[in-house]
Amino acid sequence: MHPDLSQVFPTAKRLASVSSIGLRIPKARLRTLKAAAEAAVADPKLFRALGNIEQTVARLQTIDGIGEWTAQYIALRAIRDMDAFPSTDIGLLRGVATINGKATSAASLLSRAESWRPWRAYAAQHLWAADGSAFCKPTAHAASLVS
More confident residue, 42 or 144: 42
Mind spelling out the 3-state secondary structure of the chain? CCCCCCCCCCCHHHHHHCCCCCCCCCHHHHHHHHHHHHHHHHCCCCCCCCCCHHHHHHHHCCCCCCCHHHHHHHHHHCCCCCCCCCCCCHHHHHHHHHHHCCCCCHHHHHHHHHHHCCCHHHHHHHHHHHCCCCCCCCCHHHHHHHC
The tally of domains found in the chain comes to 2
43 belongs to a structural domain: yes
Q: What is the CATH number of the domain that holds 36?
A: 1.10.340.30
Residues 63 and 39 in one domain: yes
Q: Is residue 98 domain-shared with residue 57, that is, in the same domain?
A: no
Domain that holds residue 126: 90-146
- Give yes or no: residues 70 and 19 share one domain: yes
Q: Identify whether 108 is part of a domain.
A: yes
pLDDT in tens, 91-118: 999 999 999 999 999 999 999 999 999 9
Binned at pLDDT 50, 70 and 90, residue 24 comes out as confident
Residue ending a domain, among 56, 77, 98, is: 77
127 assigned to some structural domain: yes
Q: Using a pLDDT cut of 70, give the percent of the chain over it.
A: 88
Task: Give the per-residue pLDDT at 133.
Answer: 55
Residue 141, pLDDT above cutoff 80: no
Cα 84 to Cα 31, 76, 110: the distances in Å are 24, 5, 11
Q: 96 and 70 share a domain?
A: no
Q: For the chain, how big is the Rg over CA atoms in Å?
A: 18
- pLDDT per position as a tens digit, 26-65: 989 989 999 999 999 999 999 998 899 999 999 999 999 9
pTM: 0.80
